[in-house]
């Protein structure tokens, strides 16, 4: 029985990774779609950027209500809705005759992607105690990993068959969402489970919950926390705001690095070929860091691994600037790759820590609240970064980013489990 249950939870991880990869196409494939969208619907670069901004906002803000619903009622209905919304988003973009339809379509797809993300990223938290970092790393890596495989295919097909390519993508992401909705379950909560006095909401009886699965074998997965609290209570702890601040910096500097990688490289006087290499290296290193260091966090601890990783990210980014200024193209590529590698693991580590600190039973809700840091992070990575580059130059702007990441790493070192609601 234990072996069957152990195998089942890895199947759930695989399904979570598939859903995560489907959601990630909206973020990572957009760079390959935007020019074709602009050619079909006359639109400025600012308007096309707004399409992506609407996706980021809807994808981020939907996660808090979606996480709360998932914690109470399970993942199945949410995954079905996310599959339908992601399908509708690509269909709408495929046939959009005017720019407002493109805005609405990508925002709808963002809603589906956000729901899929919060369900997928918290699935390992629900099912794992040991190997939780590794399992979360596998799911997180798929967010960009699947798109890395798809981008060359999409770029080769989008110009010749725009509508057909997007309709194929629509069907693919929709099927993934509906398939996961039919299979994925959350572990059944023990009857008689107590809850924290800080959280008085009534939960449905899991014995009749079709979205839950029994989890009596303690060697396979942890018992659900009896001290789970919601995000309002979590936000009264200093740890919540450390999580939030670190995520603002990680998202901001990460989007700064990803979105400005080509301009950064050429702005330092390096060749266009080096810029192309850097863009590919960032995508590979980002996924690799999530998997490798997410797994290592199981052994060395999440706080220590996240802190060390972010400090190394900051030093790597500073070394990349120093190398680029001196014209050392190869070293520049290596250090940029290292910065991407060491930036990404928090996306595998923090979901686990949030579940550990505030209870697995409401982990989706609490992590979703912290994930809203992507909104101010996106503002920093876009608008603020552009202003810094214009005022201070490429080198100074990225040195500032390096300092901020080191500070975020020191903040992660300070994290420790919550001892009480006001600790």
What are the pLDDT digits (tens) for 21-55?
A: 999 888 878 877 877 888 888 877 678 777 888 88
105: phi then psi, degrees, rounded to nearest 5: -65, -45
> What Cα–Cα distance (Å) separates residue 124 from each residue in 13, 14, 26, 218, 368?
7, 10, 23, 15, 15
Q: Give yes or no for residue 199 having a pLDDT over 70.
A: no
Asked whether the predicted pLDDT for residue 415 surpasses 70, the reply is yes
**In the predicted model, what is the mean pLDDT of residues 84-97?**
95
Average pLDDT value over all residues in the chain? 83
**Rounded-to-integer distance, Cα 78 and Cα 71, Å:** 11
Please state the pTM of the whole predicted model: 0.73
Taking 80 as the threshold, does the pLDDT of residue 345 lie above it? Answer: yes
Cβ–Cβ under 8 Å, residues 287 and 148: yes
Q: Give whole-number Cα distances, 404 to 129, 292, 336, 408, in Å.
A: 32, 23, 16, 6
312-322 as b/e: b if 16+ CB within 10 A: bbbbbbbbbbb
């Amino acid at each position: 029985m234990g072996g069957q249950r152990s195998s089942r939870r890895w199947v759930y991880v695989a399904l979570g990774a598939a859903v995560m990869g489907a959601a990630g196409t909206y973020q990572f494939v957009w760079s390959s779609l935007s020019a074709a969208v602009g050619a079909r619907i006359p639109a400025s670069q600012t308007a096309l950027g707004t399409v992506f901004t609407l996706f980021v906002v809807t994808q981020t803000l939907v996660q808090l209500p979606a996480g709360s619903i998932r914690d109470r009622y399970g993942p199945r209905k949410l995954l079905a809705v996310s599959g339908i919304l992601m399908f509708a988003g690509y269909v709408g973009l495929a046939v959009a005759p005017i720019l407002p339809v493109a805005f609405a379509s990508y925002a709808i797809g963002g809603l589906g992607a956000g729901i899929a993300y919060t369900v997928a990223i918290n699935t390992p938290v629900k099912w794992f105690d040991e190997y939780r970092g590794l399992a979360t790393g596998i799911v997180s890596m798929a967010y960009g990993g699947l798109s890395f495989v798809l981008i060359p295919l999409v770029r080769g097909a989008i110009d010749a068959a725009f509508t057909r390519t997007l309709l194929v993508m629509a069907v693919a992401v929709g099927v993934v969402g509906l398939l996961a909705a039919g299979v994925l379950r959350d572990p059944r909560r023990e009857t008689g489970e107590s809850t924290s006095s800080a959280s008085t909401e009534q939960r449905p009886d899991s014995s009749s919950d079709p979205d839950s699965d029994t989890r009596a074998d303690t060697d396979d997965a942890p018992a659900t926390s009896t001290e789970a609290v919601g995000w309002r209570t979590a936000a009264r702890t200093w740890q919540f705001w450390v999580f939030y601040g670190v995520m603002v910096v990680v998202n901001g500097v990460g989007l700064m690095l990803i979105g400005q990688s080509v301009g950064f490289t050429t702005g330092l006087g390096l060749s266009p070929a080096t810029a192309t290499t850097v863009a590919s290296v960032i995508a590979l290193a980002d996924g690799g860091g999530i998997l490798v260091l997410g797994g290592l966090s199981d052994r060395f601890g999440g706080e220590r691994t996240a802190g060390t990783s972010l400090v190394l990210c900051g030093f790597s980014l500073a070394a990349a600037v120093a190398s680029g200024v001196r014209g050392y193209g190869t070293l520049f590529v290596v250090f940029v790759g290292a910065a991407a590698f060491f930036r990404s693991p928090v996306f595998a580590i923090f979901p686990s820590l949030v579940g550990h600190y505030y209870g697995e039973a409401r982990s989706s809700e609490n992590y979703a609240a912290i994930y809203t840091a992507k909104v101010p992070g996106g503002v920093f990575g876009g608008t603020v970064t552009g202003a810094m580059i214009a005022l201070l130059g490429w080198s100074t702007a990225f040195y500032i980013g390096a300092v901020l990441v080191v500070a975020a790493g020191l903040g992660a070192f300070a994290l420790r489990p919550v001892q009480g609601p006001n600790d």
